[in-house]
Structure 1
């Protein structure tokens, strides 16, 4: 149990540091959205090229499936931010610092085969427009 607490603390510190860095940018934006119990907060800076998604109410994925986060639109129609797995309280977070957010128009979560896909194979279960 101590190991899990240390891991949670490390994750929380990394998220706090990422939030601080993004929010210190001149062009920092925060958007929120959701569908049903699934909700998300996105912090991003196009200048810095960083985006952070904090999700809550994330249900367990269907058997043999994973949740995958995408930056969509812009120069690269689909950029995988990565897979998210919720904790016991249904919370998940993911950070992308590749710079792809600079031209993205949306961020979304899809249900993909376990391990993810190279492009979305389903419509997003949640999608938010980036200003």
Structure 2
């Protein structure tokens, strides 16, 4: 795996899978993203003032929040985040949003539009499994 690092962010290219991923923050507050080659290639350009803004253009996979403005919580936007980012150190902190809450948030927030197709497919799978029982 190949990495690029900066202040508050880290990006990874996995040549085995051809996948680009990124992490913003770390410890109790961090986010994981699936990014594209263009973001990876330019994230450390000297003319990029805020690399994290560039990373935010990727597909959000995971979010851990412990900002002391309320109780800590974790949102898993893509349940495959550990496979997509095996290099990232993640920890479920505080309350883990359930699938229904996460599905609702993805449908409402424009910033999570890239997750809608994936979340809808997973929701359909869950509903089919419930029907089988």
Range into which the TM-score falls when normalised by the shorter chain: under 0.3
Normalized per residue, which structure has more helix?
2
Which is richer in strand?
1
Relative contact order higher in (CA < 8 Å, ≥ 6 apart): 1
TM-score after normalising by structure 2? 0.28
Name the larger-Rg structure. Answer: 2
Q: Taking structure 1 as the reference length, what is the TM-score of the superposition?
A: 0.28
